[in-house]
Each structure stands twice: as C-alpha cells, then as structure tokens.
Amino acid sequence: MPLALRVAQSLSEAAGILAADPRVTLLSGGTLVMRDVNEGRLTDGTLLRVTDPAWRQMQVSGSRIELGAAVTMAAILANRELAFLHAAARAVGGPAIRNMATIGGNLFAGTPYGDFAVALLALDAQVMVLAGYGSARAVPLEEFLAGRARGESRLVAGIQFNRPVAPGDFRFLKVSRVKPKGLSVLSIAAHLPGSGSRIGQARVAYGAMAPLPFRARGVERALEGKALDAAGIAAARAAALEGVQPVTDAIASDWYRREVLPVHLGRLLAERG
Amino acid sequence: MAKVPVQFRLNGSDRAAFADPADNLLTVLRRGLNDFGPKYGCGQGTCGTCSVLIDGELRLACLTLAASCEGASIETVSGMADGPSLHPLQNAFMEHFAAQCGFCTPGMLTAAKALLDRNPNPGREDVIDAIAGNICRCTGYEPIIQAILAAARTLPAQRRS
Amino acid sequence: MEFRKDLFQNERDDNLNVVGKGVQRQDMPGHVTGRSPFFDDHAFEGLLHLKVVRSPHHHARIRRIDISAAERAPGVKRILRGADVPVNKNTLLSLINFGKDDEPSLAVDKVRYKGEPIVAIIAESEAQALAARALVRVEYEPLPAVFDVEEALKPGAPVVNDTYPGNCFEYHEKYDHQKLRFGDVERGFAMADHIVEDRYQMSPIEHAPTETNGSIAAPEQNDRFVVHSCAQGLFFSLGTAAKIVNLDSNRLHFIGGTVGGGFGGKVDSLTEPLAVLGAMMTGRPVRYVLDREEEMLHGGPRGAERIYIKDGIARDGRILARHIRSYFDAGAYTRLSSYAAIKCTAHLPGPYTIPNVTSDIYVAYTNRCPSTAMRGFGITAVDFALEVHMDKGAEACGLDPVEFRILNAYRDGDMKAHRRVAKNTALIECVQVAAEKARWPLSEEAQRQSSLTGGGGARAEIPATPIDENGRINRPETRGGRPTQTLPAGTMRVPMTKQPIMEGSTENRPSAPSVPQYEPYRPATAAPPPPPPPVPASRSAAPPPPAAPPVPPPAGPAPASQHGAHRFSSVFGTRRR
C-alpha cells in the first residue's frame, strides 16, 4: 500500500504512535524523508507529522540552551543569542533548505550530510528523547548517534547544551568543493574552553571522517593544558587522524580526506578567537 | 488509498485539490492545479528550480509535504507579474540576459524575490547567498547576480509609486 | 566583448543585422514568467506515470523476472517488459545506417551496466508506480565486469556487448579502430632530435541538465500520438521512437524545442520510445521522466578517454612526426561514441602542420553507463592532451611554449593530415592576442607571423604514406604487421575495396579481435639533455621564421559549400562533393 499520513497534535502522542508501529516515519523539515519518498526508497507505511508548537520552541537566554527538535537552521541564524552556531547553521544547504531543515532532523542525516550534528557533538549536547508516552529522557548525543546506527527509533523532542563561556571558544569549519554551498569534504567543530590561555576539557568533533559524526579524542588529549600556539597546534595536528575512518564518495576519497584533515584542523585552531 | 483535500491560497486565489497523502507540494501545484511555473529538477533539494514562497518564506516545493500547506499562502513565479506589468526582477532578468535555457529561472526569480522582500538593498554577497541553493547549468550566474542587483536599484522608485 | 577589427578584415562582413548587436531573445518573456512550455508543462486528463526497474549490477545474467505482485499493486495499469517492445534493439545512428543495433529499450537476458532498464511500470500516479516498482523481483547471476578501456580490449576480457564481441566498435566492417595515415612517422621519429611521449586520461563528465530527460506521449484522435519531448534533436528522436515502437513516422507528432539544458545529454531518446509504447498499450497519456539519480545512471555522460601521444621534434622546434593512440570508453552500448572517434580523428593532429601523422582511435565497450554526445565530444579531451603535450615538447627543445605553437601552427594553404587544404586558419593570431592579453612577451619574429603568409608550397604537398592492415577485423595475423604498401606522394584518396556493409553480417564472429601492444619508444641513441627552461622575459633563441615564401593556396579540389550532410559524410567513409 502506498504511504499514508497521520498528524499528531502533541509530542507525546507522536511518540506513542512511533513506538506502536515500526512502519511509521517521523517527518520534521522533510528534507531527508521527502527525498526518500520522491526517489521511491520509501513507498509504504505511514508518514507522521507533528504540529505541537513545543517542538519549535527555543530557550536561549541563559547559560543552558534548550532548542526544540523542529527548530530550523534559519531560526538559529535569525537569533543573535546563537551567533556562535551561525557558521554551523549556514553550512546546511541554501536559504530554502535552511528554512526547512531542522536540528532534530540533522541528527538523522547520513554522511556527507549532518554537519550541524557535528557542532552539537562538540558542544556535548544532550538529546531529549521520548520513547513512547511519558516524559523526555536526556541522552548524550554520542550515545544517541550510536543508537541511531543500530536502527533504534525514538522521537527527539529537543536538544540541550551549555553556551560556550567565551565566543571564541567555539569554532566550526566546513570544507566543500563548491562555494558557497556544497556537500562536505569534511567538517570540524571544536569547543575549546580556555582558548585565550590554556585549553582545558576540549571537545573536537569531525563530520564525514567516519560513518557518523565522531569525536577526535586524540586531538582533545593533545590539546589538554596547551595554548593555541604553534606547539599546541602542531600537537593537535599530529593527533588529527586518530581513529578516523573516512568514506570514499562522490565528493572525496578516503585518501583525500585524510590528507587534508590535519591542514584544516590546524587552520581552525589558528583562527583568532 | 484515500485522497486528502488540500486548500491554500495560490498567488492570491483560493485553490483546492485532492492529493495523495504523501504527495509533495510540487506535484500538487503542477499536476493538481496546473501551475507549471515551479519545475522538477532533482527531487532532493539540490537544484532549487522548484522554489516557492510559503507564507513569505522560501521553500522547496519538492520536499514540502503538500498536506502541511493547508491554509498557507503560496507564491510561485506564475504570480509574480501584476497582470501585464512584470515584476522589476523579471524586467531585470530580461534586460541582463539572466536566462539561457530558462529552466532554473523560476527558482532564481523566487529566491531573488525572497531576498528583496526582506532586504531591498542587498550587496553582492547577499545576492550570492540568496541564490546559493539554485543551480544554473548553463552557468550564467554572473548575469543573474547583476540582474538581481539591478532590480534592487529600481525598487525604491517602484515602491513609492 | 571586443571585436578585433584589425584581423582578417576582408573575411568579415560588417553589415550584419544581429551579430554584434543586443537583441532581445524571443523566448525571454516566457522564461521570466514561468510560461515557457517545457515538455513536462502540459496538462492531460487521465495522465499515467511510467517508472523503470533498473539493474543494480554492472554485469549480470537475468535469471528470472517476477512481476506478479507489482501487477496487482494499486493503480498499476500496465507493466512493460522487453518482449513488449516491438523492436527491442537499436543504435542511434542506425537512422543513417551506421553501426549495428546493440542496445535494448528493456534488457532481456543480460544487464550490462548499473542502471540499465529492465521493466517499466505504468500507474495512475508516480507514487503508485514507485510502490509497484518496489514489488518487482529480478533474479540475477552476476558476471565479471570490465571498467578499463585497455583491459576490455585484451584477449579473454569479459564480453560486454554481444553485438561487438571484441569489445570494440567496428568501422566499415573492416577495422577495429579509426585510422589516420599521413607521411611516414617512423622516418620522422628517426630524423627527430627529441622524442616526447606521454599518456593522458579524462574521466566521464555528466551533463546534469537542470531539467532531467523526459517526455509525455498521448493518443490523438487522428490515430497519431503526440509526444512532448525534451529532445535536442526532435526529428532524430521521432525517427528513433518510430523505429523502436514500429510505427510509421507520420503517426508520431513530436513537439519540443524548449529544452531545460541539454549540452548533448538529450540526443539519446532515453524516454520517448517507452512513453509512446505506454500510450499505445494503455490508450492514455503516459509521462516518463527520469529522476536525478536515473539521469546520472542511465543518461549517458561525455565518455572517458585515454590518450597516448608520441612526438618527434627537430632541434629547432619543428614537429616532424606525431603518433596518437586513443581509447574512447563507450560504456556498454554504442550510442554516439562511434561518431566521437571519427570527430577525434578528423581533429588530429590539432591545429598544427606536421608532415608525418598517424593515429589509431579505438572505441572500447566497458560495463559503464553508455556515453554519448557532449559539447565538443571527441575533441575536448584530445585537445587537452595535445596542448599539454605541446608544452612538454616546447620544454624538451628549450623553446618558449607560445612561440613553439606559433612555429608549428598551420597556415592557409597547408595540407592537413586528412588531405584537405587548410583555409581560414587563425591559430597564430589567436595565440598572439592571447599572449598580448596575458602580457606574455613574444619575440619580434613571432609577432610578425601571420596565418595568411608562409603556408602552402612544400607545406601543401602530400607525402608518400605507408599504409597497413593493422586491426583488420577477423584477421589476427594482421596484428602488429608491417606496412602493406606505400601510397605515392600526392595520393588524395584510397579507393574503397568494397562498399561498407552496415547491418549484422558479422554477428557470432568466432574470435575476438584484440589490440596490439603499444611499444614505448626506445631511442637508438640517447637524446641530448634538455636545455634549461626558457625565461620568457629574455629569450635569446627565437624560432626561425618558416622558410617557405608565401604562395597562394594550391588549386586542389574545389571547396564545396559546408553543410550538415557534408560533415556527416565521414561516417560513411565516403566524401560527397
């Protein structure tokens, strides 16, 4: 049977529908799901729309930021409080896509898409997950992505993370061959507390350097207690490739991604914060 | 499979169509309502030739679930001219040779209108960002950029009138 | 835009109505209002939608096709298989009797590239056609595949295209490649002071028009079918569709001409035949549009090419001999690659006057998407290779690369390797203007050179030319053979030994022709070391001006007026007057 459509008024209703039927596909901005429909990869089951306004709410004033999963890239770009995330939001598509694509949907995008999730990974984001009726449970993004890879189906209600203390502590870079908009050769997000003097508890994440966005723990270790001077950057570059498993796709080969990653990491770290 | 009714305003007129539940807006506009202005180019959000304005926001019709447009106001290139008088962007595209095959033109004009509607005085970089999601394969980007900048220059006079 | 009025004044008419003036295009109002009628911009009551099951394998035998579940799916009106296609084998240039039919509309026993169509579903909506497509079951037996042009031509390579079991296109039922022979390259190489050889490669390039290939076919009341088509060559597509669905061409009414980007990718009639067949079978309008992925998999690209060039150059920079061997990657079926190799051969050795030229241009079949026309196909890649090679040649003899081109450029009155006299040549002037724009200093002698002078005379002579039977179809003993005879100087044409036979006479040929190995050049004596690289600002050794005095072009054959039929005649191996 061709696809059916259901509409849920609330997030918990949607979570219940999702939990009850594995053939239900949740629709957020549509940029991933409708493509699968258009190309005939998704031909049966049910699409689920959610009209709950809570899904698009934003709490951005304090140090703890809470974003509904259906917040769009355009909404982030329109918010001055989220200026540190503008580079990551702008990395997603052109203006039309940014008016549609949501931060929750980005967590489900396969390589070489999903650059915004890379930024969230470096920010140590918690994913607010609804697994059936009931209240949301916070899951670290890294754990959530691993679950996604195992095929777990859960409704993302929202995302929470701490605002970086200094604006220069958070950096994001997307490398693509077509400017100003193109698919990722790779993307790098770095949260560098203490970037003005000595780094402590750095979190660095890569996109397109593995099947999922993934944390560059070698770089994080190499930066611990270091300044972002030539020696600190050299140490980070030396550890840049630890654990990477880049894909070979139409955009770049595994080899090319490995070759250019340390160069771009070095440039990102050398930016003046 | 039951069809679902969809009603919205299209270029200022109330329109209604029956759609398959998972139909995208582009299919409903083109095959349901015979508005052939927006084009199918990729079905995956890459080319931008299906661009439309939904409640004033630039969207891709091929990735928009038609049923989600209930009650919305939709603008396409087909409604851009006011009767016989063309929109300043349309005039500028003609004057600057900003179309070759014409297939990306509906999306380019719509993306440009979305820009000028909120920023009547854009710079070159603003224009480039505004059409970043629209692909022209005859590679005439420069005349398109020039046409949009030229149209913006004519806007203040137009708006005073 | 700048018009160089100082160049070729007597060849230009300044009294033109359109050229050089800004004239509004008549299709522009339609484009900016979204009203230009592209093929898909037509409403039909009861429109059906066609979607195609495609091979996931590069090469496989089809064991079984099960459409029973798809036939019962909601909205499905008709399912087409290979047996439903009246003439399920075609080659595009069969309309001009060139080449053998080799490509099915729907694969029957084998698939030969990933994306090859197998089954067509016609349903009430696109969604229903897609849902039914997912229910078709095809059992495959994967076969070894070959993706490299030279691997494909080796003995024992997997046979890609059963119509051409040697994995190469066959020219005039006679040769496994296109040949060009002019003068004696071996003698030229022996006389040369420098030998420069290298290998070049270009990958396939997809046109990616913003409008994908598609068409809508609908029954008309007068027993005809109207077809709204994206075709770049509308009547070419009409003829192709008429042949495949076995209708007289006057029963097809093709409407088109408004094309959303083509660049050569809309000459293959990818959708028209099945859309017409669908309309015939259902009595309803049928729309068949490729999605973007299908456009990439099934819509042919500019084919890949591998090119080997060997030059023999005198110490003073004159190129004495040039040998070119090139392989076009046709993909799994011919489409227009056979013509690409002809265009390539006609272009060699580039815009230079070289007294000894040979080339062997192969069209090889591989398990890739069939390649086709694209902007200058047959020319672009070899031009890239030739011009990179020119730079290497200049470096080998220590010459400025721009002056090296002027020295070797063809001039009016020169004999080209195809035994036609060059006229309206302009390379020297182009290079001079480019150097000026790039602020690249040229010697005074180079600046004085002109395409109008210095050509002809000795440069207009046809040299004695050894010819050979290498690559003769079905004659393995001709591999690597010596020249069979030498055509005396001045020979314009080699008489055909027989009329070319175009259709199917060598099907089921026992042995696959293979290709001789190209021996890397081993000079008998060590070449002198290359002099230091030239410094453009202060060159001492400018090339000498050509020795021959300006002479009027020789009488030669009267140049006929150029038109399409004339150009295509090279396909037949005969030249019309």
pLDDT tens across C141-156, in order?
A: 999 999 999 999 999 9
Position C533 pLDDT exceeds 50:
no
pLDDT tens figures, C23-82: 889 999 999 999 999 999 999 999 999 999 999 999 999 999 999 999 999 999 999 999
**A153, A131 in Cβ contact below 8 A?**
no
User: 10-residue block means of pLDDT along chain A (273 residues)?
Assistant: 90 92 94 96 95 96 96 97 96 96 96 95 96 84 91 89 93 91 94 91 96 95 95 97 94 96 97 72
Chain centre to alpha carbon of residue C509: 26
Mean pLDDT throughout C411-440? 95
- Is the peptide bond preceding residue A112 cis, with omega within 30 degrees of 0? yes
A222 touches chain B (CB under 8 A): no
Q: From CA C517, how far away is CA C342, in angstroms rounded? A: 22
Q: Which chains touch C (3 or more CB pairs under 8 A)?
A: A, B
A165 touches chain B (CB under 8 A): no
Listed range (A222-226, C554-558, C573-577) with the worst mean pLDDT = C573-577
Say which of B22, B57, B114 has its CB closest to residue A37: B22
Q: Is there a single domain that holds both residue B42 and residue B96?
A: no
**B67, B77 in Cβ contact below 8 A?**
no
Mean pLDDT throughout C519-528? 38
For residue B157, name the pLDDT band (cuts at 50, 70, 90): low
Give pLDDT, residue C561.
Answer: 39
For residue C499, name the pLDDT band (cuts at 50, 70, 90): very low
Listed range (C38-47, C278-287, C525-534) with the worst mean pLDDT = C525-534
R_g over Cα of chain B:
16
* Structural domain total, chain B: 2
Average pLDDT value over all residues in chain C? 87
Say which of C51, C74, C293 has its CB closest to residue A2: C74
Long-range contact set of residues C387-394: C-beta below 8 Å, sequence gap at least 24:
C387/C350, C388/C198, C388/C200, C389/C196, C389/C198, C389/C200, C389/C309, C389/C311, C390/C350, C392/C196, C392/C198, C393/C194, C393/C196, C393/C311, C393/C313, C393/C319, C394/C317, C394/C534
Of B23, B55, B79, which one is at a domain's C-terminal end? B79
For residue C496, name the pLDDT band (cuts at 50, 70, 90): low
For residue C108, name the pLDDT band (cuts at 50, 70, 90): very high
Identify the sign of the CA torsion C143, C297, C233, C306. negative
Q: Is there a single domain that holds both residue B145 and residue B112?
A: yes
Q: Is there a single domain that holds both residue B124 and residue B153?
A: yes
What is residue A190's three-state secondary structure? strand
Q: Nearest to residue C106, comparing CAs of C124, C92, C122, C86?
A: C86
**C60, C141 in Cβ contact below 8 A?**
yes
Q: Is there a single domain that holds both residue B64 and residue B100?
A: no
The C-alpha of B130 sits at a distance from chain A's nearest C-alpha, in angstroms, of 6
**A22, A98 in Cβ contact below 8 A?**
no
Q: Is there a single domain that holds both residue B72 and residue B116?
A: no
CATH code at position B49: 3.10.20.30
Average pLDDT value over all residues in chain B? 94
**Exposure string over A171-180, b if 16+ CB within 10 A, otherwise e:** bbbbbbeeee
The answer to whether C133 contacts A3, with C-beta atoms less than 8 Å apart, is no
Q: Is there a single domain that holds both residue B13 and residue B72?
A: yes
Between the two ends of chain A, the Cα-to-Cα distance in Å is 55
Q: Is there a single domain that holds both residue B66 and residue B14?
A: yes
Q: Nearest to residue C206, comparing CAs of C299, C329, C301, C297?
A: C301
> Nearest residue on chain A to C291, judged by CA atoms?
A39
The answer to whether C127 contacts B22, with C-beta atoms less than 8 Å apart, is yes
Q: Which pair of tokens denotes residue A167? A: 């604006």
CATH code at position B149: 1.10.150.120
DSSP conformation letters of B58-84:
EEEGGGSBGGGGTT-EEE-GGGSSBTT
Q: From CA C571, how far away is CA C336, in angstroms rounded? A: 11
Mean pLDDT throughout B145-155? 95
Give pLDDT, residue C485.
Answer: 86
Helix (H) or strand (E) holding C391: helix C380-396
Say which of A35, A47, A93 has its CB closest to residue B43: A35
B43 touches chain A (CB under 8 A): yes
The C-alpha of B31 sits at a distance from chain C's nearest C-alpha, in angstroms, of 7
- Is the peptide bond preceding residue C349 cis, with omega within 30 degrees of 0? yes
Give pLDDT, residue A271.
Answer: 87
Q: From CA C577, how far away is CA C561, in angstroms rounded? A: 9
Let me know if C337 is exposed, middle or buried by CB neighbors in 10 A (0-12, 13-18, 19+). Answer: buried
Q: From CA C338, how far away is CA C315, in angstroms rounded? A: 38
For residue C11, name the pLDDT band (cuts at 50, 70, 90): confident
For residue C226, name the pLDDT band (cuts at 50, 70, 90): very high
Q: Nearest to residue C130, comparing CAs of A201, A43, A203?
A: A43
Q: What value of ipTM does the predicted structure carry?
A: 0.96
Q: Is there a single domain that holds both residue B66 and residue B95?
A: no
Q: Which pair of tokens denotes residue C517? A: 């190995």
Q: Is there a single domain that holds both residue B68 and residue B116?
A: no
Residues of C in contact with B41 (CB under 8 A): 210-212, 260, 292
Q: Is there a single domain that holds both residue B70 and residue B124?
A: no
Of B29, B55, B79, which one is at a domain's C-terminal end? B79
> Nearest residue on chain B to A4, judged by CA atoms?
B21
Give pLDDT, residue C498.
Answer: 47
Say which of B4, B60, B63 has its CB closest to residue A5: B4
Residues of B in contact with C291 (CB under 8 A): 42-43
**Residue recorded with tokens 């499905």:** C76
Say which of A2, A4, A31 has its CB closest to residue B63: A31
Position C110 pLDDT exceeds 90:
yes
The C-alpha of B49 sits at a distance from chain C's nearest C-alpha, in angstroms, of 8
Q: From CA B26, how far away is CA B36, in angstroms rounded? A: 9
Q: Which domain holds residue B131?
A: 88-160
Of B79, B101, B118, which one is at a domain's C-terminal end? B79
Helix (H) or strand (E) holding A171: strand A170-176
Give pLDDT, residue C574.
Answer: 38
The answer to whether A96 contacts B133, with C-beta atoms less than 8 Å apart, is yes
pLDDT tens figures, C305-354: 999 999 999 999 999 999 999 999 999 999 999 999 999 999 999 999 99
The C-alpha of B125 sits at a distance from chain C's nearest C-alpha, in angstroms, of 23
Position C440 pLDDT exceeds 60:
yes
Q: Which pair of tokens denotes residue A24? A: 């239900």
Say which of C51, C128, C291 has its CB closest to residue A2: C128
The C-alpha of C262 sits at a distance from chain B's nearest C-alpha, in angstroms, of 9
Position C432 pLDDT exceeds 60:
yes
Q: Is there a single domain that holds both residue B75 and residue B92?
A: no
B11 touches chain C (CB under 8 A): no
The answer to whether C32 contacts B94, with C-beta atoms less than 8 Å apart, is yes
Q: Is there a single domain that holds both residue B49 and residue B98?
A: no
Q: Which pair of tokens denotes residue C435? A: 């150097």
What percentage of residues in chain C have a pLDDT greater than 70? 84
Domains, in order of start, for chain A: 4-50 (3.30.43), 53-162 (3.30.465.10), 167-270 (3.30.390.50)
A231 touches chain B (CB under 8 A): no
The C-alpha of B90 sits at a distance from chain C's nearest C-alpha, in angstroms, of 5
